[in-house]
Amino acid sequence: MPRVSGKTDKDQLLALLGAAIRARRKVMDLSQEALADQAGIDRSHMGKIERGERNVTLLNVAKLAHALSCKPSDLLVDAGF
């Protein structure tokens, strides 16, 4: 697990998680709006999370995992960390 320090590391981590969330959402054939609603997350925040523009909190990762019928750790494993 590389050190998380520089801006690029951080951006990359968030982008990887966003992509992992998007991939699971598409497998479940959910729209971004439907996932946001089911997870109880604001729709515009949801878009930013998927684009890697938000430093997601643990509770939001847990809400998204629940809506995607997986465990929070599954999302991080999918993302490669």
Exposure of 80 in the CB half-sphere (CA atoms within 13 A): 10
**How far apart are CB 35 and a copy of itself at their closest, in Å?**
14
Per-residue burial over 38-68, b = 16 or more CB atoms within 10 Å of its CB, e = otherwise:
ebebeeeebeebbebebebeeebbebbbebb
Residue of 33, 40, 43, 53 interacting with a copy of itself (CB under 8 A): 40
Residues touching a copy of itself, count (CB under 8 A): 28
41 belongs to the binding site for a copy of itself (CB under 8 A):
no
23 belongs to the binding site for a copy of itself (CB under 8 A):
no
35 belongs to the binding site for a copy of itself (CB under 8 A):
no
Tokens 């999918």 correspond to 78
**How far apart are CB 38 and a copy of itself at their closest, in Å?**
10
